[in-house]
C-alpha cells in the first residue's frame, strides 16, 4: 500500500505518500551456461547462403543495421567487409579464405555476396536486365528504353506489357 513517510532531518511528512511493501528476491532460471552460443561452421540458408539464425539451428549472430552503423562509426571497414561477405554469404570468398588459412597464405579479396546475386535475380524477374561489370552495376540501356516504351504504351491504353510480350513470343 501507500505509507506516509517523514523526513529524518526535520520530522516533517513528505508531500506525497510513498508506495511500500515486502520485497521478494527470486533466483532466475536463466543461467549463462544455457545461453552461451558460438559458431565456427554450421548450416547455411539454401537461397541466400547466409548462416541460419538461432542457437537451436547452430546459427550465427545477426549483424543488424545499427551494428553496421557502429562499426562504420569506428572506421572498421575491413572488419565490416569480412563480416558482410566472407563470414556471411560470399560462397567463393568463404572457400578461398578457408583454403588460405589452411595453407598459411594471405586471405584474398572477397567476391560478390550471394545476397546481391539474389537481388539481381529478383530484379531480372521484374523485367530489369542488370549486368555487373567489375565494380559497377549497370542496367542495359536498350532494354531500359524498351521497358519505358512498354510502360508508356500501357499507360496510353494501347496494350499491356503482358500482351506485348505475348505478341513477341508468338512471332
Each residue of 137-153: pLDDT tens digit? 566 666 667 767 766 66
Stated pTM of the model: 0.53
Cα angle 140, 144, 148; round to 5: 175
Would residue 147 count as lying in a domain? yes
Would residue 158 count as lying in a domain? yes
Would residue 59 count as lying in a domain? no
Per-residue pLDDT, 65: 93
Q: C-alpha grid cell for residue 154?
A: 500501357
Highest mean pLDDT among 36-40, 139-143, 159-163: 36-40
What mean pLDDT comes out for the span 7-21?
93
Short-list 64, 50, 68, CA closest to 116? 50
Helix (H, G, I), strand (E, B) or coil at 60: strand
Would residue 165 count as lying in a domain? yes
Would residue 63 count as lying in a domain? no
Q: Judge whether 8 and 15 are in contact, CB under 8 Å.
A: no
Domain that includes residue 149, residue range = 141-171
Q: Judge whether 93 and 87 are in contact, CB under 8 Å.
A: no
From CA 78, how far away is CA 67, in angstroms rounded? Answer: 14
Would residue 166 count as lying in a domain? yes
DSSP 107: P
Q: C-alpha grid cell for residue 165?
A: 510480350
Beta-carbon count within 10 A of 67 CB: 13
Beta-carbon count within 10 A of 33 CB: 5
Q: Judge whether 97 and 108 are in contact, CB under 8 Å.
A: yes
Would residue 71 count as lying in a domain? no
* Residues 80-127: tens digit of each pLDDT: 988 888 888 888 888 888 899 999 999 888 888 888 888 988 998 998
Would residue 76 count as lying in a domain? no
* Domain count within the chain: 1
From CA 50, how far away is CA 114, in angstroms rounded? Answer: 8
From CA 5, how far away is CA 119, in angstroms rounded? Answer: 65
Amino acid at each position: 500500500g501507500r505509507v506516509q513517510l517523514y523526513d529524518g532531518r526535520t520530522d516533517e511528512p513528505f508531500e506525497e505518500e510513498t508506495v511500500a511493501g515486502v520485497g521478494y528476491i527470486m533466483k532466475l532460471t536463466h543461467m549463462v551456461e544455457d545461453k552461451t552460443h558460438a559458431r565456427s561452421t554450421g548450416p547455411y540458408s539454401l537461397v541466400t547462403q547466409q548462416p541460419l539464425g538461432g542457437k537451436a539451428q547452430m546459427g550465427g549472430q545477426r549483424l543488424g543495421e545499427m551494428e553496421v552503423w557502429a562499426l562504420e562509426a569506428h572506421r572498421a571497414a575491413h572488419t565490416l567487409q569480412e563480416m558482410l561477405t566472407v563470414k556471411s554469404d560470399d560462397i567463393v570468398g568463404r572457400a578461398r579464405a578457408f583454403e588460405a588459412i589452411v595453407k598459411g597464405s594471405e586471405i584474398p579479396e572477397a567476391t560478390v555476396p550471394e545476397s546481391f546475386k539474389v537481388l539481381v535475380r529478383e530484379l531480372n524477374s521484374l523485367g530489369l536486365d542488370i549486368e555487373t561489370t567489375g565494380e559497377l552495376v549497370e542496367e542495359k540501356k536498350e532494354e531500359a528504353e524498351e521497358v519505358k516504351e512498354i510502360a508508356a504504351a500501357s499507360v496510353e491504353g494501347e496494350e499491356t506489357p503482358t500482351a506485348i510480350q505475348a505478341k513477341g513470343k508468338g512471332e
